[in-house]
Amino acid sequence: MGAAFLGAAVFGGVSLATSANEDLAHGFPPHPTAVQSPDLVGGPLTAEDRQRLGKQITVSSDGSVAAYTPLRDGDLVTIPVTLTNLFDAPHALQADIQVDASPNGQPVNLYRGTVSSDGPLGSDATVITDISVQGAHSIPLDELTVTIRPVDRQS
């Protein structure tokens, strides 16, 4: 009887782990959302802003969009993203963002979407947007890959 109980416990544990890996491979349980932060910086980022954002992990080819060190709060992972108008005149900014990971060697897309300034920004003005992924508690932060592709949007 003890062997049957042990066998059932091992089978149940393997089934649960397999189920969790299958869920993760299909994008579940992580639930991505882009949350527009009401944080509009009127000029270039200050030293205080940069300290709060943390280390820059990737930047767009034109330098206008940057992603910063992901933060974890329980099973919520948040990646701060800045959009900065590098033009001399007001300009609206938009970028396609993709966040991927490869837990257990399996590629998983956690977020694919667009972030924008929601209208023209003055020269050197910055908008801070957070990309949040709910349910990513089992994914190590150093396994996250952020890809940024700016979309030209004139004002």
**Is 16 within the bounds of a domain?**
no
| Among 68, 78, 66, CA closest to 126 | 66
**Is 68 within the bounds of a domain?**
yes
**Is 7 within the bounds of a domain?**
no
**Is 20 within the bounds of a domain?**
no
- What is the DSSP pairing of strand 108-116 with strand 94-101? antiparallel
- What is the DSSP pairing of strand 71-73 with strand 126-134? unpaired
Q: Give me the CATH number covering residue 56.
A: 2.60.40
Average pLDDT over the chain, rounded to an integer:
78
Query: How high is the pLDDT of residue 11?
Result: 39
Lookup: tokens for 46: 């200050």
Query: How high is the pLDDT of residue 85?
Result: 93
**Is 12 within the bounds of a domain?**
no
The whole domain housing 63 covers 31-151
Query: Domain tally for the chain?
Result: 1
Amino acid (one-letter) located at 34: A
Query: How high is the pLDDT of residue 34?
Result: 55
Are the beta carbons of 151 and 96 closer than 8 angstroms? yes
CA distance 30 to 81: 19
**Is 132 within the bounds of a domain?**
yes
**Is 15 within the bounds of a domain?**
no
Ramachandran category for residue 90: left, alpha or beta (phi over 0 → left; psi -120 to 50 → alpha) = beta
**Is 119 within the bounds of a domain?**
yes
> What pTM, to 2 d.p., does this model score?
0.74
Q: What separation, in Å, do the N-terminal and C-terminal C-alpha atoms of the chain show?
A: 74
- Residues of the chain falling short of pLDDT 70: 1-41, 153-155
